Amino acid sequence: MAEESLKVWQRVLAHAKRLSDTSLRILFSQDLTRSVKFSRSLWDSKDEIYVDFSKQLIDDQVLDELLALAKDLQITEQFNEMRNGVKINWSEQQAVLHTALRADNKQTLIVDGVDVIAQVHTELDSLRKFANSIRTDKKFKKIVSIGIGGSDLGPALIFDALSPNYETAVECTFIGNIDAHEIESVLKKSDASETLFIVCSKSFNTVETLANAKIARSWLAEKLGVDRNDKTLADHFVVVSAHPERAIKAGVIAANSFNIWPWVGGRFSISSAMSLAPIIAFGPDVFDEFLAGMRAVDDHMQNSTPENNVPLILGLIDVWNFSVLGHTSQAFIPYAFQLRSLANYLQQLIMESNGKSVQVDGSATAMRTSPVVWGGVGTNAQHAFFQMLHQGTDVVPVEFIGFSQPVHEQHEAHDALIANMFAQSKALAFGRTIEEISLEQPSEKIINHRVMAGNRPSTTVLARVMTARTLGALIAMYEHRVFVQGVVFGINSFDQWGVELGKSLASELSNEISGSSVPSQTSAKDQPDGSTQRLIDLYRQHRKN
């Protein structure tokens, strides 16, 4: 950090010390306007997304100082640079342009001599045509989308989130893992003549995706009673990739293929052709609504004043929780069955982006960066791990997400669901003191077990109803929060070198396990490792018997 920002940072740290003696109980009693002061609405329209961060351990001075830090670090200016195509992914010399995927078609954005927004819209037109043809043909009743990481989690999230609300023209299943039990379980229940495989891989180098595509092709050939090279198979495959030529090389011959570009990171690709399965399932108009929601939040992030900028404020509070207060994990708990895939999606978005410890200049980061991100859905989570959230030794900041209007008619059940969400955030914040239970429980020993310290921070996001537009807005809000965190941490949120070593060792060990080669030289190879060798030997032995 530059000198001025460091000064602001020191002041932020001092506020943490100042607040160490206070509690959410005290803060709420001292300021009756707290819930108004520390909440914002993303929109005032019928799609309102209300964000209440008053149960975070902050006060006016903390928020002011965090916003001062944001101004000093020029976070919104840096966001604009990203949106304008500056190559902020410096370790890979790439622009970072997921925002261009939902930019208005009246705009132009020239990067390396090419209008990327025009490129995006040409592709969107082809996607629309293709999706409509599949929807009207009705030949395919099932889509199996094959991909992993960002080429899987985003489309799966959209499909799960919108299925209750929008009519689905085709059934969609998502396969990521190289564990073939997964694909086998799907193929077992599929009719080859009615199944369309969408193979999603930006790089088309990903072993899991290549292996699953190969299994799908063999299965299809066998079930249709044709040769593996028969041309009819191509009609059952679609490829989404920045390298369609590699798909052909890998033997994935598809009648249709769609592009994404090197400037879209895998975990930021939800607004690209990677989401083809839900685009077909719900129709291109619904996807347009989703993109409109994202675009509205892109504009909000770019144009709002810092004091009203929701992703900016939430990103700064994240930094406050992880890097200042030292909390090491963060839980996302939607009280919405539709968002059951959200925690998985956010795990990659946040941890793959900001799980770094080297700054832009190559030096070690001075502060704690990404937390462990996890979660589940309410109320199930209450009966699984909430005990630890309430009384465990670690404090875990929680994000609750709920919708006022359900997409079903079971209103009583919905009221109970949301009452539980509000109750949990209240219990976490205010706990229960010894005085509040002493009347009912005479023995001191027992009373102590029932005391809940409270003072456990949470944010509540309450949206009116789950629509495609709301979902798009929520996702863009999370994307930009990650950006804000990355700027404060001083890291590059857009590369993922940490995943590489494991990948290359896996490919070496695959050869060793299958006995097809001796291990080659990698950095970790020279490391004496009796453990792995014994595991390989035992595995081979098990396989023989």
Q: Taking contact as CB under 6 A, which single stretch among the options 4-12, 149-157, 333-341, 528-536 is the one that binds ligand F6P?
A: 149-157
By the 10 Å C-beta count (0-12 exposed, 13-18 middle, 19+ buried), 306 is classed as: middle
Q: Which residue is nearest to ligand F6P (CB)?
A: 266
Residue 429 to residue 57: CA distance in whole angstroms: 9
Indicate whether 209 belongs to the interface with ligand F6P (CB under 6 A): yes
383 among known catalytic residues: yes
Indicate whether 145 belongs to the interface with ligand F6P (CB under 6 A): no
> Cα–Cα distances in Å, from 408 out to 83, 369, 411?
38, 40, 8
Residue burial 495-516, b: 16+ Cβ < 10 Å; e: rest: bbeeeeeeeebeebeeebeeee
Indicate whether 150 belongs to the interface with ligand F6P (CB under 6 A): yes
State which amino acid sits at residue 188.
K
Indicate whether 275 belongs to the interface with ligand F6P (CB under 6 A): no
7, two tokens:
């000064």
The only residue of 12, 62, 263, 266 in contact with ligand F6P, by rule CB under 6 A? 266
Indicate whether 55 belongs to the interface with ligand F6P (CB under 6 A): no
What distance separates the 2 farthest-apart alpha carbons in the chain?
A: 79
Task: Please state whether the peptide bond connecting residue 532 to the residue before it is cis, i.e. omega within 30 degrees of 0.
Answer: no
Indicate whether 149 belongs to the interface with ligand F6P (CB under 6 A): yes
CB 225 within 8 A of CB 238: no
Catalytic residue among 65, 171, 352, 479: 352
State which amino acid sits at residue 256.
N
Which residues in 485-514 contact ligand F6P (CB under 6 A)?
A: 496, 499
DSSP state of 49: E
| Beta-carbon count within 10 A of 288 CB | 17
**Taking the complex as a whole, how short is the minimal distance between the CB of residue 269 and ligand F6P, in angstroms?**
7
Q: Taking contact as CB under 6 A, which single stretch among the options 196-204, 414-422, 431-439, 537-545 is the one that binds ligand F6P?
A: 196-204
* Strand partners of residue 285: none
Catalytic residue among 181, 188, 189, 383: 383
Residue 275 to residue 280: CA distance in whole angstroms: 9
**Taking the complex as a whole, how short is the minimal distance between the CB of residue 357 and ligand F6P, in angstroms?**
18
The candidate with the shortest Cα–Cα distance to 93, out of 317, 262, 283, is 262
By the 10 Å C-beta count (0-12 exposed, 13-18 middle, 19+ buried), 78 is classed as: middle
Indicate whether 155 belongs to the interface with ligand F6P (CB under 6 A): no
x/- map, 276-315, ligand F6P, by CB under 6 A: ----------------------------------------
**Taking the complex as a whole, how short is the minimal distance between the CB of residue 176 and ligand F6P, in angstroms?**
9
Q: Is the Cβ of residue 193 or residue 203 nearer to ligand F6P in the bound state?
A: 203
Catalytic residue among 129, 139, 503, 525: 503
CB 127 within 8 A of CB 276: yes
Q: Taking contact as CB under 6 A, which single stretch among the options 38-46, 145-153, 246-254, 428-436 is the one that binds ligand F6P?
A: 145-153
State which amino acid sits at residue 332.
F
List, as one string, the DSSP characters of 318-383.
Answer: HHIIIIIS---EEEEEES-GGGTTHHHHHIIIIIIHH---B-TTSSBPSS----EEEE--TTGGGG
The only residue of 8, 42, 148, 310 in contact with ligand F6P, by rule CB under 6 A? 148
Indicate whether 89 belongs to the interface with ligand F6P (CB under 6 A): no
The only residue of 55, 98, 202, 480 in contact with ligand F6P, by rule CB under 6 A? 202
Q: Taking contact as CB under 6 A, which single stretch among the options 203-211, 322-330, 333-341, 516-524 is the one that binds ligand F6P?
A: 203-211
Indicate whether 206 belongs to the interface with ligand F6P (CB under 6 A): yes
Q: Is the Cβ of residue 49 or residue 491 nearer to ligand F6P in the bound state?
A: 491
411 among known catalytic residues: no
503 among known catalytic residues: yes
Which residues in 338-357 contact ligand F6P (CB under 6 A)?
A: 352
Which residues of this chain interact with ligand F6P, rule CB under 6 A?
148-151, 201-203, 206, 209, 266-267, 352, 496, 499
The set of catalytic residues is 352, 383, 503
